[in-house]
A and B are shown apart, each in its own frame.
Chain A
Amino acid sequence: MLTFNYSIWILVLPAVMFLVLGLGGKYMKPVVSGVLGTITMAITTVLAYLTAYQYFFSVGKAADGTYKAIEAFNFEWLRFTDTLHIDLGMYIDAISSMMLIVITTVSLMVHIYSLGYMKGEKGFQRYYAFLSLFSFSMLGLVVATNIFQMYIFWELVGVSSFLLIGFYYTKPSAVAASKKAFIVTRFADFFFLIGILLLSYFTKTFDFGTLTAVGAPCFSSFAGASFLGISAISWTMFLIFMGGVGKSALLPFHVWLPDAMEGPTPVSALIHAATMVVAGVFLIARLFPIYLFQTPEVLHLIGYIGAITAIFAAVVACTQTDIKRVLAFSTISQIAYMITALSVSGYDGHDGLGYMASMFHLFTHAFFKALLFLGAGAIIHAVHSNEMDDMGGLWKKMPIANWTFLIACLAIAGIFPFSGFFSKDEILAAALHHDIVLFSILFIAAGLTAFYMFRLYFRIFHYENKQYHHAPHDAGPSMSIPLIFLAVVTVVAGWLIPFDTLITADGKAFESHIDPLVAGLSIGIALVGIVGAYVFYFKKNEKPDQVATSLGWFYRATHNKFYFDEIWMFATRSIIFKCVSKPMAWIDVNVIDGFMNGLAYVSHQASEAIKGFQSGRIQQYALIYLVGALVLIVTFCGWLVAFITK
């Protein structure tokens, strides 16, 4: 039997490449560093495919046909107590193998694409170094053997996202966006950390293997502990979920994701569409047995947060005019879909449809969303603008972008036989069997998705014939090849990969089939959305403006993203800054610094007072000596007299 020893190179290669490019990049020609990074990523991709292939088809399957997790290796890094220790290692199971494929594939595509897109940019080497760092962190995150290792890489992902969003560090908006992304996700990670600490405090372990075993005994110590009337384990799992809320941009922590579009577009494709933002979904999936068996009420809550986010982001996406922002809100909406799918899942057999559907959607979404972003990048590259108003009628000028974008739009809208149809259909089927409210919300969101995606498509490629300064044209091969590759994957991924036998909650294969009712409904609403978009946006007309005017305040609220940014601004500026930070700053300046300054002042004054003694004048010293000697003598004599006369 083959072993997974080589799989460590999946982590080592990008890490080494980050160091090489980060430290030695400035001594290389830009193109050398780009090609070097791309080749390394290609090798990593091959290794990841090998690992996944081996796991799924030879090693992973136990005798009874279920997929068991394998620890490729594991070593102890920090030991706290006899039972509690942080390990570093590689944990290979169905979902991490799948994530390996997703991350390395999208990352490789982005590496290739960036060779063309970022050509001639200042800091090209730095860009590739950061890409490698990001790939390393994300791969480390998905293969983490324990929740603490996951947290470490989780933060690394946050850092590399920060670095890449702020890549154009001379642009104030990019700097602000990178800070916002980092602070918002870091704020959420704070809850995640508390959750991890609580979890490890009660269960005495970080290990995923121990934690996610069915009927794990380690949760017995939670019994009876509660806080504010809610049991400790619910708090714990909710806090851990908060970390996922931050990274996966669910309400109310979604505010960073649209702004993160300030980064280079391939980065948006890699980080803010395909890989990093699904970290939250991955986290819930990884801890799914705990959520399901220990805290079903939290899982329920997660479902509702997800569904509300899905519909909210879909509505907002309908009114945005920056094409990358539309895609950003679409990402928020789709991620929320996956989260909701997890919440409507059971564990065994067909009951676990939601889990499988969620992972399935994660997989397909990664490819078509990366395709959409890379396509958007090609368009932005060609017309030098992010705004829809500067585009239109591009379908003749950029045929490759047109067709690949159309395929991706069809996929995300859920049209048969593109990959999005299959995964979305499974999600809707799972939701229908579980919770009709969630189903209805997701169903409406699906229609909206089709509408805003085709609004985007028609506005870019049809609408009106714009006059451009430079005639836009398809980009060179390094940008077109990834588009075509991803388009092919988007077309075939849905029916080629048997997710129901490979990735399931309990590891056992089950038979999933397309529910004709759900499939019909979802295609129906998608078509309604597409037709709506066609009516409004295929040719330039007055209808969109009329509708916008008739919707009045609702349109304005939507256009302003329901004022979430303003609410957060108010919360931070007016409440946190004024009521918490200002008093704390006052205490810092006046009490803490005041105490220190006081000490310094006292010793300064004391030294001022006595420094006159050290004048260097012998005569003065002598006088003091004399006076001192006389005082001593007089005292001694007085004492002597008193002693004798007593």
Chain B
Amino acid sequence: MGEFITNLLNNTIPIELYLAVTTIVFFVGVYGFLSRKNMIMVLISIELMLNAADINFAVFNRYLYPGQLEGFYFTLFAIAIAAAEAAIAIAIIINIYRKVHTIYVDEDVSKMKY
């Protein structure tokens, strides 16, 4: 564990590992977004994709431009946006539920397109 933290702080963990993790997380999000019917799960999947992108920002900032902080700031900014977005999304979902008594996208919710 101590070795891992040392490596972490010394940037000796190769960047590809980070990117592999974020890619996996991102596609887990994509898969969830495409396959889940429950809107809460869809929302969580979107958050996963967003998080993967956030990690990428942080990693690229650290590895490519260590002297600068824009990547970190952008990550914080995106997290804040994501929080607001999640709040709105949940509010929408609650309203839909009140209207059609379901939050499964393939059921009566599709009526909304009319």
**Do A and B interact?**
yes
Per the bound structure, the CA–CA distance linking A6 and B19 in Å amounts to: 102
Contact A619 B113 (CB under 8 A): no
Interface of A: prevailing SS: helix
16 sample A-B contacts, Cβ–Cβ < 8 Å, listed by A number: A616-B110, A616-B113, A617-B105, A617-B106, A617-B110, A618-B105, A619-B33, A619-B34, A619-B35, A619-B42, A619-B105, A622-B33, A622-B34, A623-B34, A626-B30, A626-B34
Those 8 A-B pairs whose CB atoms lie nearest each other, nearest first: A616-B113, A623-B34, A619-B34, A622-B34, A622-B33, A616-B110, A626-B30, A619-B105
Bound CA span A617–B107, Å: 11
Name B's A-contacting residues (CB within 8 A): 30, 33-35, 42, 105-106, 110, 113
Q: How far apart are the CA atoms of A623 and B35 in the complex, in Å?
A: 10
> Closest approach, in angstroms, between the C-beta of B15 and any C-beta of chain A?
20
In the bound complex, CA of A616 to CA of B106 (Å): 11
Encoded as 1 (CB less than 8 Å from any B CB) or 0, chain A from 608 to 641 comes to 0000000011110011001000000000000000
Across the interface, which residues of B come within 8 angstroms of A619, CB to CB? 33-35, 42, 105
The secondary-structure label for the interface of chain B is: helix
Question: Chain A, interface size: which category?
Answer: under 10
Residues of A519-538 at the interface with B, using a CB-CB cut-off of 8 Å, are none
A621 to chain B, nearest CB (A): 10
**Distance from A582 Cβ to chain B, minimum over Cβ atoms (Å):** 49
Across the interface, which residues of B come within 8 angstroms of A626, CB to CB? 30, 34
| Chain A positions within 8 Å of B110 at CB level | 616-617
Residue of A nearest to B33 (CB): A622
A41 to B30, CA, bound (A): 91
Give the residue name and chain of the B residue nearest to A617 (CB).
B110
Looking across the interface, which residue of chain A has its beta carbon closest to that of B27? A626
Query: Closest residue to A626 on the B side, CB-wise?
Result: B30
Q: How far is the CA of A619 from the CA of B34 in the complex (A)?
A: 5
Give the docked Cα–Cα distance between A507 and B51 (Å).
Answer: 110
B48: min CB distance to chain A, Å:
14
Residues on B with beta carbons closer than 8 Å to the beta carbon of A618 = 105
- For B105, the chain A residues whose CB sits under 8 A away are 617-619
Q: Which residues of chain B are within 8 angstroms of A617 by Cβ–Cβ distance?
A: 105-106, 110
Please name the residue on chain A nearest to B111 by beta carbon: A616
Residue of A nearest to B30 (CB): A626
Taking the closest CB of chain B, its distance from the CB of A358, in whole angstroms, is 80
Least Cβ–Cβ distance between A419 and chain B, in angstroms: 85
| B96 CB to nearest A CB, Å | 13
Per the bound structure, the CA–CA distance linking A470 and B35 in Å amounts to 97
Distance in angstroms between the alpha carbons of A623 and B42 in the assembled complex: 13
A616 to B111, CA, bound (A): 9
Of A616, A619, A623, which is in contact with the most chain B CB atoms at under 10 Å from its CB? A619
Q: Which residue of A lies closest to B37 (CB)?
A: A619
Task: State how many angstroms separate the Cβ of A534 from the closest Cβ of chain B.
Answer: 92
Measured CB to CB, the closest approach of chain B to A632, in angstroms, equals 16
**Chain A residues whose C-beta falls within 8 Å of the C-beta of B35 in the assembled complex:** 619
* B93 nearest CB across to chain A (Å): 14
CA distance A626 to B106 in the complex (A): 20
Give 1 or 0 for each of A21-53: 1 = CB within 8 Å of chain B CB: 000000000000000000000000000000000
A616's nearest neighbour on chain B, judged by CB, is: B113
Closest chain B residue to A623, Cβ basis:
B34
Contact mask A592-621 → B, CB, 8 Å, 1/0?
000000000000000000000000111100
A616 to B113, CA, bound (A): 6
Please give, as numbers and ranges, the residues of chain B lying within 8 Å of A622 by CB-CB distance. 33-34
In Å, the complex CA distance between A617 and B106 comes to: 8
Neighbouring B residues of A623 by C-beta, 8 Å: 34
B34, B35, B106: which has the most chain A beta carbons within 10 Å? B34
Least Cβ distance of B50 to chain A in Å? 15
Report how far A557 CA is from B81 CA in the complex, Å: 103
**5 further contact pairs, Cβ within 8 A, besides A617-B105, A619-B42, A626-B30:** A619-B33, A619-B35, A619-B105, A622-B33, A622-B34
CA distance A643 to B7 in the complex (A): 38
When chains A and B are docked, how far (Å) is the Cα of A626 from the Cα of B33? 11
Cα–Cα distance between A622 and B113 once the two chains are bound (Å): 16
A252, B35: Cα distance in complex, Å:
84
B107 nearest CB across to chain A (Å) = 12
B112 closest partner in A (C-beta) = A616
Q: How far is the CA of A619 from the CA of B35 in the complex (A)?
A: 8
- Residues in A with CB closer than 8 Å to B42 are 619
| Cα-based distance from A617 to B112 in the complex (angstroms) | 11
Nearest neighbor of B106 in chain A, beta-carbon distance: A617
A623 to B113 alpha-carbon distance, docked (Å):
19
B9 to chain A, nearest CB (A): 34
A residues less than 8 Å from B33 (CB atoms): 619, 622
A70 to B33, CA, bound (A): 94
| Minimal beta-carbon separation of A83 from chain B (angstroms) | 67
* Identity of the chain B residue whose Cβ is nearest the Cβ of A618 in the assembled complex: B105
Give Cα distance in the complex from A619 to B110, angstroms.
12
Q: Which residue of A lies closest to B35 (CB)?
A: A619
Measured CA separation A44–B64 after assembly (Å): 105
- Measured CB to CB, the closest approach of chain A to B113, in angstroms, equals 3
Bound-complex Cα distance A329 to B113 (A): 76
A135→B11 CA distance, assembly (Å): 110
Contact string against B for A residues 55-97, beta-carbon threshold 8 Å, 1 for contact and 0 otherwise: 0000000000000000000000000000000000000000000
How many Å from the CB of B114 to the closest CB on chain A?
Answer: 8
Contacts of A616 in B (CB 8 A): 110, 113
Chain A nearest CB from B81 CB (Å) reads 20
A617 to B104 alpha-carbon distance, docked (Å) = 12
A645 to B110, CA, bound (A): 49
Q: Give Cα A622–Cα B34 distance, bound, in whole angstroms.
A: 7
Closest to B110 in A: A616
Complex Cα spacing A622 to B45, Å: 13
Nearest-neighbor residue (CB-CB) of B114 within chain A: A616
- Closest approach, in angstroms, between the C-beta of B88 and any C-beta of chain A? 16
* C-alpha spacing A626/B35, complex, angstroms: 13
| Minimum CB–CB distance for A423 against chain B, Å | 84
A620: nearest chain-B partner, CB-CB = B34
Q: How far is the CB of A593 from chain B (nearest CB, A)?
A: 35
| CA distance in complex: A623, B33 (Å) | 9
Q: How far is the CA of A619 from the CA of B39 in the complex (A)?
A: 11
Q: Mark A260-279, 1 if CB is under 8 A from B, else 0.
A: 00000000000000000000
Contacts of B30 in A (CB 8 A): 626
Give Cα A619 to B113, complex, Å. Answer: 14
Closest CB of chain A to B44's CB: distance in Å? 14
Q: How far is the CA of A622 from the CA of B29 in the complex (A)?
A: 12
